[in-house]
Amino acid sequence: MTVLTIFFPCSRFSWHSRVGSTTGRVRLRCAREWTILSMVVSVLAAWPTLVSADPITLDQDIRGVSVFLQTVGGVREQAADFLTVANSSSVVSGTATLISSISNLHHLTGSGVVSLESVGNANLFAAASSLFVVGFTIDALHDYSFRGTWTGDKTSAAILKTNTGETFFDHVNGPGSFESSGRLPSGAYSLEVASAVTGSSFSPGTRLSSAFDFAFDLQASPTPEPASIFLLGSGLTALAVAIRRRSPRP
C-alpha cells in the first residue's frame, strides 16, 4: 500500500490508496481551516473585479451651438456629436460649430469654432457660441486630466465642478492653453468647455472669431476599495488565527 501525504501551508491532507485498486480514501484533517482557505481564495480570485469596478454614468447632455442676431433672432442646435448653425441679416452673419464625442466616458473630446462677420456698418447686438456641457456621475475615486487650447480674440472657458458647487477648475480667459489634473471623489459633476464671440458695433469687413479644442480623461484610481481591503484582511486574519490554534495531530 502506498501512502501519499500532501502538506499545504494551512491544511494537511492524507491520501491513502491501494496500488492497482479502484478504491481510495481522502481524509481531511482540518476542515475548518480548509473552509477559511476556500473563502480567502474566493476573495483573491474576485479581487481584480472588485478593484476594477469603474462605473461612470452620463446624467446630462447639454452640448449646443447658437447664433443670435438682434434683427432676426436666434438659431440653436443641441445634444449631438456634430452641431452647426448659421444665421444672417443684411449686414452681419454668424456661424457656430461643435464636433465632440461622449461615446467613451473615460475620454471626452471636443472642438468648437464660432465667428461673426459684417459686410457693412451695423449697430446691433450679435453673438455666436459653441458650448460643450455634460453632467456625469462616478461611483469611485477617479483621476482626471484636462488639456485645452483656445484661439481667436474672445471669451474662452473651461469649468469642472460638482453639483453642490465645489469647483475643481474654473478657467475663463482669452486665447491660450490650460491644463489641469487631480483626483475626483465619487459624486456628480459637470464639465463645461466653451468659446463665444459678441459684438454690438460693426464696420465693413469686421470679423470676430474664436475656437477651442480639448480632451478630458478619467481613469479609475488605483486605490483599492475599502470594503475589498477589509474583506481580504479579515479573511487572512481569520486564517492565521485558525492555523495558530490548530492542535497538532499524529
Q: Where residue 116 sits, what CATH number does that domain have?
A: 2.60.120.380
Note whether 64 and 186 are same-domain residues: yes
From the list 151, 135, 136, 129, the residue with the least C-alpha distance to 212 is: 151
pLDDT of the residue at 86: 98
Q: How far apart are CA 171 and CA 174, in angstroms?
A: 10
Full residue range of the structural domain in which residue 82 is found: 56-220
Looking at the chain, the whole-number percentage of residues with pLDDT higher than 90 is 63
Note whether 175 and 71 are same-domain residues: yes
Note whether 20 and 113 are same-domain residues: no
| R_g of the chain computed on alpha carbons | 32
Residue 170's Cα: distance from chain center in Å?
18
pLDDT of the residue at 175: 85
pLDDT of the residue at 54: 77
pLDDT of the residue at 173: 82
Q: How far apart are CA 87 and CA 107, in angstroms?
A: 32
Residues 221, 226, 232, 236: is their CA dihedral positive or negative? positive
Note whether 163 and 209 are same-domain residues: yes
Who's near 209: CB < 8 A, 6+ residues apart?
A: 113, 114, 115, 116, 152, 153, 154, 197
Q: Note whether residue 20 is domain-resident.
A: yes
Least confident of 20-24, 110-114, 142-146, 231-235: 20-24
Note whether 9 and 97 are same-domain residues: no
Note whether 10 and 84 are same-domain residues: no
Q: Note whether residue 150 is domain-resident.
A: yes
Q: Note whether residue 157 is domain-resident.
A: yes
Note whether 42 and 63 are same-domain residues: no
pTM of the model: 0.71
Count up the domains in the chain and report the number: 2
Note whether 197 and 234 are same-domain residues: no
Least confident of 38-52, 101-115, 183-197, 217-231: 38-52
pLDDT confidence tier of residue 242, bands split at 50, 70 and 90: low
> What does pLDDT average to over the chain?
81
Nine cell digits for residue 206: 469686421
Q: Note whether residue 66 is domain-resident.
A: yes
Note whether 160 and 62 are same-domain residues: yes
Note whether 23 and 79 are same-domain residues: no
> For the chain, how are helix, strand and coil distributed in percent, rounded to 5?
15, 55, 25
Q: Note whether residue 108 is domain-resident.
A: yes
Note whether 144 and 215 are same-domain residues: yes
Is the pLDDT at 50 greater than 90? The verdict is no
Q: Note whether residue 75 is domain-resident.
A: yes
126, β-bridge pairs: 69, 199
Q: Note whether residue 250 is domain-resident.
A: no
Q: Is-contact 98 193, C-beta < 8 A? A: no
Note whether 27 and 150 are same-domain residues: no
Q: Note whether residue 29 is domain-resident.
A: yes
pLDDT of the residue at 51: 46
Is the pLDDT at 234 greater than 70? The verdict is no
Q: How far apart are CA 197 and CA 67, in angstroms?
A: 10
pLDDT digits (tens, 9 = 90+) for 162-176: 999 999 999 988 789
Is the pLDDT at 24 greater than 60? The verdict is no
For the chain, the first-to-last Cα distance in angstroms comes to: 19
Q: Is-contact 138 56, C-beta < 8 A? A: yes
